[in-house]
Structure 1
Amino acid sequence: MKINKKAITIYTLAINKAQNGDYTSAIKMIGESLKISPNYLDAYLSLGGIYADMNDYQQSVSNFEKAFAIDSAFARDYYLPYSISLAGCGRFEDALKAVTTFLSSPKLNDRSIRAGEFRKKTYEFAINYANTHPEKNYVFAPQNLGDSINTSDLEYFPSLTIDGKKFIFTRRIQNKETFYESDRVNGVWGKAFPLQGKINSNEYNVGAQNISQDGEWLVFTGCNFPQGNGSCDLYISF
């Protein structure tokens, strides 16, 4: 499907805005590109991802479905994030169908299969729990960790030591992933700060960390995407 060059230019600029955390401008610009090329598949897929990052799962689902209506076969790899947004809407049965569609692809790598199987188990758990609790008197009441942890940037992939006193997580600032630490003192999480030492790097994006139960080891992934070859390696720090 041929896409107007002007639409592509606007879309490319919009993606740069999104990568720098300016979602509002990115959404507006992608909308402008879609006015020029209404069947711009990548634009709808990107909107689905941006709205998911903003926790606006209804809009995320809507845009993913617009993309699937254009070419569901080409967009098949996006059934995994689509399933996550469906789950965010509380539509776990639909999420299970979506992730099953994703896993049926014969071209998935091991990492994608593991990610899909993990999500599938969580959706199955949610469906089973709802079926075994028809009175629906269960309460899901998550509590925000507050501004010592959360900022306007994205925070994700947390891990805790077994004593619950050290909290490591990833914060993404302008598309750069950095590990942050917060320590719990007298039941209160302190202001998070970049993990000290040589773990955080200007050369690598770090992610997928897992802290040992005693807090002495940290296993994580470092990817040198800025250098262009996209390679990732596992690291361990003491």
Structure 2
Amino acid sequence: MSGAPINYGHFTSMLVERGRVRGLARHLERLERDAWVVFGRGVAEGDVRAAIREAVAGDEVVAVKVTVVAPEYDPRDQVVAEDLEVVVQAFPPRGDAGPLKVRTCGYRRDLPQVKHVGTFGLFYQRRLARMAGFDDALFAPDDEVAEGSTWNICFRDAAGTIVWPSAPALPGVSTALIQNGLSRLGHKHEIRQITLDDLAGFEAAFASNALAPVRSISGIDEHDYAEDAETAALLRRAHDLVPEERV
């Protein structure tokens, strides 16, 4: 039985520019960590690097999705998979996108700390949000802000502190790079519980993932946020402090 059609596996996405990736070590760590959670064994870093190099050969800038599956995985038999396969897909990167207006919902991803292939629920919530006139969905189970459909979220408060929610969410690579960069720049940032009642107290909000490290959020539900180019530039600077790594 082939593992490819079965909704069981994990992945990471990254932007490859001239054979280099910012935060590559963190993507490789994610694949290794998640492989142990999902399959009970690690994935060879050399196999991942080789598969990416083959997929992006000759491309200057390309978005890449690296998925790990077990070709012989059988959901009826939960024995540890013997062989893991690395599947790489390359896509043209999207251009710069405008601010997001998002709607909150009570959805929570299964196993939120893992970037797994079980994406039906999150894409369905995005669809519902768009049908209601929003751009995307922000997950807030039990009225506690957690994460967006395919992105992390952070806020700037009135004192200039950058705040990330503490609710269970995917540990995003871009978020980690920004946090590390802010520490190096000496800019105050913190992680704390953020409830829906707290949304009105923030001055600005931003979405972040590997393909769009810093994207402004113009509104969440009935709360509007002014464009904050200065903070967006700070977050981007913090992100870019980490040098690119050769695949």
Measured against the shorter chain, the TM-score band is under 0.3
Q: Which has the higher helix share?
A: 1
Per chain length, whose mean CA-contact separation is higher, i.e. which structure has more relative contact order (CA < 8 Å, sep 6+)?
Answer: 2
Q: TM-score, normalised by structure 1?
A: 0.26
Decide which structure has the larger Cα Rg and report it. Answer: 1
